[in-house]
Structure 1
């Protein structure tokens, strides 16, 4: 290694620790628990951001509290925080706390940008970005080790710690596309460090070969999109930059070529050494894929229609699940793909933003991002900015097909890329009045950071209680205690209210007419936000409250969105004594479904009738 002396200083320890915590550690945990499976990983990611800000305040020497020295990225994130909070109230969304938590996350990123500016002013952009690149290389190296353990099935000895499922390479992220996304960050960072002469060429080649090989094993098709994006970025950058960037462009291009070659040859090489190597490569999966009848095709159509129905403001954060549930774009009237799964996202982040946040929110997100990073793209162009753009392109291209930035740990790293696109002014105002105002600004920012830290920790304890109450089972007394605990969280924790309500649904029994007083509100709010397959509770609860037409319309939507669940829904409709006006609809729609898919009917009317409903089930034909 050469040219590393400026990075290995105790003064930069907060940057090293902070960037490793933000850009590597959250990706190395598969801890999933409770109704919001990734709560601790995602809240931990925000916690690491805030700890880095606090460390910068305590250990940094040139933080500025002047409004003149607040970076563009801070204003950008604050503007998004305000929009998320205002839109939720203007549209009266069902669970406003879920919009508010996103707003607070953006406030945390505004503080992150402020802290990053201080370090860039103190050390310079290139060394700070180099530390980020090292953090990503270290994270990718750890991920690659896990990937090889999964490929060789050695990770099977550590199920629940190093793997989710057998027969797939997905690192610690639990999804092959997320794994490929992160590994591409590692490839780009490694190649850039090589171009900076901060990583010896031989070691860089070994790391690049390792990263490219394990990416080939995961079979993620989006990897081709990343390389295509890099192929477009590099020549454009060369046109607007000078020849001093040739080395970086060459190392990044070589890395991209290596990634592509690995997609075609690594699997064959592995089969030569092992007859058990039977994973499907990304090239094979791409060749076997047809977009026309895929779920993405239908979900994209729905997202566009949802946007057109409310083009300016959108329908509110998280509204896609409900709005997409209501739309019928299917050829035979029934959803033909993943018929027991709720699509909470259209699998295209840009279409999803249009649907949920409208044109105003989408322009703010994308236009504001361009404005926030534009300062570092002016002449003379920085090689650090080239890496940051390449890293951002990976996330943005992945967002065309999925929603990685809906996960806080991916979003935090992406926000860090934006924050490091900074070109702070060199002028310093040393007037005593200005220094006093700056101290006040720093004190206020520090107080806000401490308050958010305390709130994040407090929320984690509340979520631990939620997780405990959400576990069903136990005797009658224990069940009552859990119900009371969930209701208390629903009433006192706006951010967790949805998850508490979702857990309360488990205690509803549609076969009973003695529903608790809270059943109507909980079933309705859940259904009107994220109508999972258990949203049938809303139809049955509404029916028992005398809203017969509402129940009929809702369950018709349920049958068409979840056709594979119709036998289960029918077992309630046909065998419970108190839903007689739902039976004709169910029988007609269920028979229509099995006729259309040309399969033997599995409709519940073929089940032996419950003695209590035998007479009611013998309705004369109309």
Structure 2
């Protein structure tokens, strides 16, 4: 694969060229990291993506002549959204203000990437920018596709440091989540079609790359992959109606072939694996077409609408969907011992539930403005570069209707960057003599510094949190409360990762009366953030030991309304505390009665 960059284009603007390379690196390198461990499996990829994005912006800021491109209109709506989040946090005194801080940081990062995309096009041109970004995305997608194939069919020991270990029976490459893996492969498929049409990749290499991407997509077992290729086909048909030129006709044909090949692969690949006994046991999609977690989205969406109805103006608060959902009657299938749904798996409903009508309207207005600008700019005549960028952004937006990919910084940054490249910037915005450039430099620099500080604090605290992994969930407070791990977690409870730190403190707290007031505070706060069965059970024990048996019994009734395996796990947890007080035995007996009718 070769992308002709041309010395003339690169010499036009050295800062622009370096920024483009760093932006391209942001679209590939974070997606190749094979290290994914609790408590946040995507922390290092997300952190690395944000760091690369900030480096790209820093190069633009350091240029001798600061670019005069103003912030694209969608970014202004996002700034309004960030201001709204800050105002809500000040008005409602949230349990974890750190959640709002991180949400604002994500929004600010997206705004910077929007601006960076517009700046790159201003400096390097749309075609050149699109080609470089497409080449980087395709390289990352091919590497991940190969990693997913190796992962699925058996990873040799000499690749253990390069390919993530397979958990379950669905390939996910080095992205650690099968649906996000399918998302990234789809970005690579769109990039492949674009580079092929532009003549940057030969026909035989295109066929080989397409076969690898399609096969790996089928191994992901993600239904979203089918939505992506159908989206490409629909966009290809639409763009050909507007621009019946040769390149666009070839794109339409290629997108149709890709969609047909992907549909066929999802039918053939699982049967091929079964026939030859390849891959992990019980792999394949047959049992997931009409079952599995997909059906849980319906009650999750209904629950999100209920939360929105209860707080229609400003929502229940950033990061508090899970806690509010638990209070509203979280379906038993949406929680188990160590997991709980923290999102309704729909961007619009999530925004409505957590930020209300105002927050959702601000974000959706920004997206609508972007869509309108793209349509006005390219409805007369589509270009292959615009097709690839709109196709890639569409993957993120379509996926956001059934998942939450934009909650991950590496996917958010890539999507926002691509959106910025096709955002209309008027001639007045460019300005003849860099009008207002100094003010823009200060504004962008201020946001950059704020994000850099948050990234530095996040990396420092996560590094400290990560070393408590072995003891933080079981024995951190056992024996001496002044242990090094306990001290570390208590200190982190006042930092930017306080929710994670207090979750570990709550999970590691002995089920006795020692420091009971502190345990009650921890568990009450964590219930707002992550009310998994393990946390609910511990909260019930602490309440019972505090003489609040009625409240503890209400929580135990929620645990009883679970599948048998989950009830057994909860019973084992309560049994650890039965020597502390006789009331625990009554809670165990209540739990063993099994499901009962619960008022929502």
How far off is 1:465 after superposition? 1.8
Secondary structure, aligned partner of 2:302: helix
Question: C-alpha offsets along residues 327-346 of structure 1, whole Å, 9 cap, x if unaligned?
Answer: 3476xxxx257643322222
1:299/1:346 contact within 8 Å kept? yes
Is residue 14 from structure 1 mapped to residue 18 from structure 2 by the alignment?
Answer: yes
Instruction: Give the number of equivalent residue pairs.
Output: 581
Match of 1:263 among 263, 266, 271: 266
Q: Which moved more, 1:42-51 or 1:527-536?
A: 527-536
> What is the match of residue 461 of structure 1?
460
How far off is 1:563 after superposition? 5.7
Match of 2:218 among 206, 209, 216: 216
Distance of aligned partners of 1:567 and 1:292 in 2 relative to their CA distance in 1, 3 Å threshold: closer
Give the Cα–Cα distance (whole angstroms) in 2 for the partners of residues 156 and 350 of structure 1. 43
Q: Which runs of 5+ in 1 are unaligned?
A: 597-622
Distance of aligned partners of 1:507 and 1:401 in 2 relative to their CA distance in 1, 3 Å threshold: same
> What is the match of residue 47 of structure 1?
51
How far off is 1:442 after superposition? 1.2
> What is the match of residue 620 of structure 1?
none
Is residue 347 from structure 1 mapped to residue 351 from structure 2 by the alignment?
Answer: no
How far off is 1:293 after superposition? 9.3
> What is the match of residue 445 of structure 1?
444
Distance of aligned partners of 1:489 and 1:229 in 2 relative to their CA distance in 1, 3 Å threshold: same
Question: C-alpha offsets along residues 274-309 of structure 1, whole Å, 9 cap, x if unaligned?
Answer: 55357777663454x337994333323322322222
Q: Which moved more, 1:260-269 or 1:300-309?
A: 260-269
Secondary structure, aligned partner of 2:594: helix
Question: C-alpha offsets along residues 391-433 of structure 1, whole Å, 9 cap, x if unaligned?
Answer: 12222232233222222211111111222222222355446xx
> What is the match of residue 600 of structure 1?
none
> What is the match of residue 413 of structure 2?
412
How far off is 1:386 after superposition? 2.0
Give the Cα–Cα distance (whole angstroms) in 2 for the partners of residues 414 and 171 of structure 1. 20
Give the Cα–Cα distance (whole angstroms) in 2 for the partners of residues 24 and 5 of structure 1. 18
Is residue 30 from structure 1 mapped to residue 34 from structure 2 by the alignment?
Answer: yes
> What is the match of residue 605 of structure 1?
none
> What is the match of residue 231 of structure 2?
229
Question: C-alpha offsets along residues 336-379 of structure 1, whole Å, 9 cap, x if unaligned?
Answer: 57643322222333322222222222222222112134323214
Distance of aligned partners of 1:41 and 1:361 in 2 relative to their CA distance in 1, 3 Å threshold: same
Give the Cα–Cα distance (whole angstroms) in 2 for the partners of residues 161 and 531 of structure 1. 34
> What is the match of residue 548 of structure 2?
547
Give the Cα–Cα distance (whole angstroms) in 2 for the partners of residues 490 and 321 of structure 1. 20
Distance of aligned partners of 1:327 and 1:477 in 2 relative to their CA distance in 1, 3 Å threshold: closer
Match of 2:365 among 346, 367, 385: 367
TM-score normalised by L of structure 1: 0.84
Is residue 490 from structure 1 mapped to residue 485 from structure 2 by the alignment?
Answer: no
Distance of aligned partners of 1:342 and 1:300 in 2 relative to their CA distance in 1, 3 Å threshold: same
TM-score normalised by L of structure 2: 0.86
1:369/1:418 contact within 8 Å kept? no
> What is the match of residue 378 of structure 1?
376
1:194/1:204 contact within 8 Å kept? yes
Secondary structure, aligned partner of 2:108: helix
Match of 2:62 among 55, 58, 62: 58
Task: Report the RMSD for the aligned CA atoms in angstroms.
Answer: 3.3
How far off is 1:42 after superposition? 1.6
Give the Cα–Cα distance (whole angstroms) in 2 for the partners of residues 280 and 127 of structure 1. 45
> What is the match of residue 249 of structure 1?
252
Give the Cα–Cα distance (whole angstroms) in 1 for the partners of residues 457 and 191 of structure 2. 36
1:301/1:329 contact within 8 Å kept? no
How far off is 1:98 after superposition? 1.2
How far off is 1:54 after superposition? 0.7
Give the Cα–Cα distance (whole angstroms) in 2 for the partners of residues 176 and 115 of structure 1. 29
Distance of aligned partners of 1:30 and 1:268 in 2 relative to their CA distance in 1, 3 Å threshold: same
Is residue 83 from structure 1 mapped to residue 87 from structure 2 by the alignment?
Answer: no
Give the Cα–Cα distance (whole angstroms) in 1 for the partners of residues 296 and 145 of structure 2. 30
2:109/2:413 contact within 8 Å kept? no
How far off is 1:53 after superposition? 0.6
Give the Cα–Cα distance (whole angstroms) in 1 for the partners of residues 153 and 368 of structure 2. 43
1:35/1:503 contact within 8 Å kept? no
2:140/2:188 contact within 8 Å kept? yes
How far off is 1:595 after superposition? 13
Q: Which runs of 5+ in 2 are unaligned?
A: none
Following superposition of structure 1 onto structure 2, how do residues 167-566 of structure 1 map, counting pairs within 5 Å?
167-243=169-245, 245-267=248-270, 274-276=276-278, 284-287=286-289, 289-290=290-291, 294-328=295-329, 335=332, 339-340=336-337, 341-379=339-377, 380-383=380-383, 384-427=385-428, 428-430=430-432, 435=435, 437-469=436-468, 471-472=470-471, 476=479, 480-491=483-494, 493=495, 495-510=496-511, 512-515=512-515, 517-535=517-535, 536-560=537-561, 564-566=565-567
2:183/2:399 contact within 8 Å kept? yes
How far off is 1:62 after superposition? 5.2
Give the Cα–Cα distance (whole angstroms) in 1 for the partners of residues 582 and 373 of structure 2. 67
Distance of aligned partners of 1:407 and 1:91 in 2 relative to their CA distance in 1, 3 Å threshold: same
Question: C-alpha offsets along residues 560-602 of structure 1, whole Å, 9 cap, x if unaligned?
Answer: 3576343454456576355545655653453233999xxxxxx
2:313/2:357 contact within 8 Å kept? yes
> What is the match of residue 615 of structure 1?
none
